[in-house]
Structure formats: structure tokens, C-alpha cells
């Protein structure tokens, strides 16, 4: 499995040479539904977790008012299998009934959900990344494996899951935990990642328009400069050259490591390490989608000819079935000085 990002609509550094020294490499993960093992890089797959190491739990205050109809992880998986089967039926025959009578009965039965459960909540796997597959910014010496878990609930102070990072040497894990605990309920179905295998690909990114100098921002917004270069920036539906740059030339959407911070929900702000004050660096972007209508130039070439089958009524590009803060991304930043320092969660 491999995926190829199409070439950018133009070489932005030819038009704006000041951007060339600001280029950074990001690694798009291209998650796609599969059956990963603990020995593979994955999203939502099993972790290479030592059998004698306690599984992390979240005991922070949760927003118990956010939902009163929750499902267990197994119920969410069952509902997804039903919706995927329905999508396959509709792909074969657009006029066919989406669901069988048995599937409708199951969906109706599960619609009532479960009430809130108090107490510490077992965290669930979000991502496992081996350094042999994916560059890992901020990796400590001796570590070749990053594991990301989260609590699948909103929290009183943060309306998104809280994350935990584990760096480890994969060679040190000889006895793997077979059946890690799972939470009895998950606050929202879209907080359980679809198990996915990865097809990493490196791309070049540039800063958000808001992180550029005022002079360069003004040059980006000069329509005559784009016209002189023979490029119709508005052909993609962008309302301004800056929007075209933001959606098509600066950041790759979707799951990725490294690259530049994607701003949009807020203006850029300092991200100092809480322990030492050093500016943190982007480690991992946990995305609500791999592309959207405004960033379709980033859609892999393979998806255009052989689109991934997703559960019925799933937004195109949302292969992991996550939705963070109403379709935003959760970006994890780490301290380059020490992996023992706390990481930062940034929703943008």
C-alpha cells in the first residue's frame, strides 16, 4: 500500500523565494483501514505494551454532561461494520436497501446507549509509530517507538480527549500485553479511532500565512504578482491568494509528523515548554480528515481512481472516523530538550 501526493499547483518558492529557507519536511501517514499488529506502525491499532507495565488510566475531571447516550467500544465497532457493509451494498447497487432488517434492529437497539460511568477511565490507543517507518521529532536517545493514547472523553477544562505519550525501545519489550483494558463506554463514537495501517510519505511544508512577516504576507496577497506568474489562484475556489496558499501550498492536511504548526482556529501563539521554557516543536497531528473540499489538491492520486471504502454516511477523507472539536485537528508538540517534559495539545 502506498499513496502519492500530487505535485503542488505551482512552485511557491519560485514565486516567493523568501519561503525557500523556511521549508520543512512533514511525513504524511496516510492511514487506511486494516488489521495492524503490535509490531507495525498504526493508528488505532494494538500497542507493543509490556505485560508487566500498568496500563494508563485517566482520572481527570470529565465533562459528564457532554453526552448521555454512549456506546461501548465493541458496540461502536459493530455499528461501523454494519455501516461499512451498507456502503459496500450501495457501491454494488446504488438502488439497494442500505441495511438489512437485522442490521436495522441492531441499530435501533443500540440507539439508547449507556449512561455515564464514573471513576478512572482506561485510555485507548491512538497511534503507534516506529522510527523505522516514520521520522519522530523530539525522540529521546535509545527510543525507536512512540505510542500515543488518549482518554476518549471531553474534560471539564478541555473539550477534547487528553493524550499520553510513551517513548520506548521496541527491543526491550519481550512479553507483550495481550488484552489491555478498555473503557466501559466512550463518550462519542468518533473518539474511537478506526484501526489503520500506514503508508508514510514525505512532503514539503511552509509556514502558515499568519506566521510570515508582514511584508511577505502583503506580497502573498498581491493578486498582480500571481497573475504575472500565469497562475489563476482563484481556480480552486479560494477567496484570496492567501487562502489559496494556506490550503494548497503551506500545510499538508491529515495525519502527519513534523512539519509546520497549522493555525486557523486562533492566531499563532508561543508554545513554550512548561518545564524549561524552550519553544516546543510539532510532533504529531491527529486529524479529523485527510482532506476537505478546500484542500482536495492534497488528495492522493490513488484515492482519485480507487477511493477507500468508508462506512455509509462518512465524510470523504475521514478514514480514521475521528472528529475533534467539530472537524479540527489535535496537534501534539514536544520539548526538543527532553522527552520527559510535558507535551502540549493544540486544537487548530
pLDDT, position 66: 65
CA dist 118 and 158 (Å) reads: 18
95 in a structural domain = no
The answer to whether the beta carbons of residues 250 and 203 sit under 8 Å apart is no
For residue 260, CA distances in Å to 23, 71, 334 come to: 9, 36, 13
Instruction: Report how many domains make up the chain.
Output: 1
- Cα–Cα distance between 340 and 348 in angstroms, integer? 25
Strand 281-286, strand 330-334: pairing: antiparallel
What local confidence, expressed as pLDDT, does residue 131 receive?
98
In a domain, 90, yes or no: no
Whether residue 137 lies inside any domain: the answer is yes
pLDDT in tens, 136-177: 999 999 999 999 999 999 987 778 899 999 999 999 999 999
What is the pLDDT at residue 57? Answer: 97
Whether 91 maps to a domain, the answer reads no
> Could you tell me the residue range of the domain that residue 332 belongs to?
12-70+114-347
Cα 296 from Cα 252, distance rounded (Å): 10
> Does 61 fall in a domain?
yes
What is the distance between the terminal CA atoms of the chain, rounded to a whole angstrom?
29
Q: Does residue 340 sit within a domain?
A: yes
Kindly give, in sequence order, each residue whose CB lies less than 8 Å from that of residue 145, ignoring residues fewer than 6 positions away: 48, 128, 129, 130, 131, 167, 168, 169, 170
CB neighbours of 228 closer than 8 A, spacing ≥ 6?
Answer: none
CATH number of the domain encompassing residue 179: 2.30.320
Instruction: Name the average pLDDT for the chain.
Output: 95
Would you say residue 19 lies in a domain?
yes
CA distances from 20 to 204, 211, 249, 284 (A): 10, 15, 12, 23
Integer Cα distance of 259 and 206 in angstroms: 8
Q: What is the pTM of this model?
A: 0.95
pLDDT at 282: 98
Do 299 and 291 touch, CB atoms closer than 8 A?
A: yes
The answer to whether residue 85 is domain-embedded is no
CA distance 49 to 168: 10
Where the chain has pLDDT below 70, the residues are 64, 66
CA distances from 253 to 190, 205, 343 (A): 19, 10, 21
Amino acid at each position: 500500500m502506498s499513496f502519492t501526493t500530487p505535485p503542488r499547483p505551482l512552485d511557491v518558492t519560485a514565486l516567493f523565494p523568501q519561503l525557500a529557507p523556511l521549508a520543512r519536511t512533514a511525513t504524511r501517514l496516510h492511514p487506511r483501514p486494516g488489521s495492524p499488529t503490535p509490531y507495525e506502525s498504526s493508528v488505532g491499532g494494538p500497542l507493543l505494551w509490556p505485560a508487566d507495565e500498568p496500563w494508563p488510566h485517566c482520572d481527570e475531571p470529565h465533562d459528564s454532561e457532554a453526552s448521555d447516550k454512549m456506546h461501548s467500544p465493541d458496540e461502536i465497532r459493530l455499528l461501523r461494520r454494519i455501516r461499512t457493509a451498507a456502503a459496500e451494498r450501495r457501491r454494488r447497487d446504488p438502488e439497494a436497501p442500505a441495511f438489512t432488517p437485522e442490521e436495522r434492529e441492531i441499530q435501533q437497539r443500540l440507539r439508547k446507549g449507556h449512561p455515564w460511568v464514573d471513576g478512572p477511565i482506561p485510555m485507548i490507543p491512538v497511534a503507534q509509530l516506529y522510527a523505522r517507518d516514520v521520522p519522530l521529532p523530539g525522540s529521546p536517545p535509545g527510543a525507536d517507538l512512540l505510542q500515543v493514547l488518549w482518554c476518549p472523553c471531553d474534560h471539564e477544562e478541555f473539550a477534547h480527549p487528553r493524550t499520553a505519550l510513551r517513548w520506548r525501545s521496541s527491543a526491550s519489550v519481550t512479553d507483550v500485553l495481550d488484552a489491555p483494558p478498555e473503557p466501559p463506554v466512550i463518550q462519542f463514537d468518533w473518539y474511537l479511532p478506526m484501526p489503520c495501517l500506514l503508508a508514510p510519505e514525505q512532503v514539503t511544508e511552509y509556514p502558515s500565512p499568519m506566521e510570515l512577516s508582514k511584508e511577505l504576507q502583503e506580497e502573498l496577497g498581491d493578486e498582480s504578482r500571481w497573475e504575472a506568474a500565469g497562475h489563476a489562484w482563484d481556480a480552486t475556489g479560494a477567496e484570496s491568494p492567501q487562502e489559496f496558499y494556506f490550503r494548497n501550498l503551506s500545510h499538508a492536511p491529515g495525519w502527519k509528523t513534523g512539519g509546520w504548526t497549522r493555525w486557523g482556529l486562533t492566531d499563532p501563539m508561543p508554545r513554550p515548554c512548561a518545564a524549561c521554557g524552550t519553544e516546543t516543536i510539532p510532533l504529531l497531528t491527529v486529524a479529523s480528515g485527510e482532506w476537505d473540499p478546500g484542500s482536495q489538491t492534497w488528495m492522493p492520486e490513488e484515492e482519485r481512481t480507487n477511493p477507500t471504502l468508508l462506512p455509509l454516511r462518512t465524510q470523504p477523507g475521514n478514514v480514521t472516523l475521528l472528529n475533534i472539536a467539530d472537524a479540527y485537528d489535535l496537534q501534539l508538540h514536544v520539548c526538543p530538550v527532553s522527552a520527559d517534559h510535558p507535551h502540549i495539545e493544540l486544537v487548530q
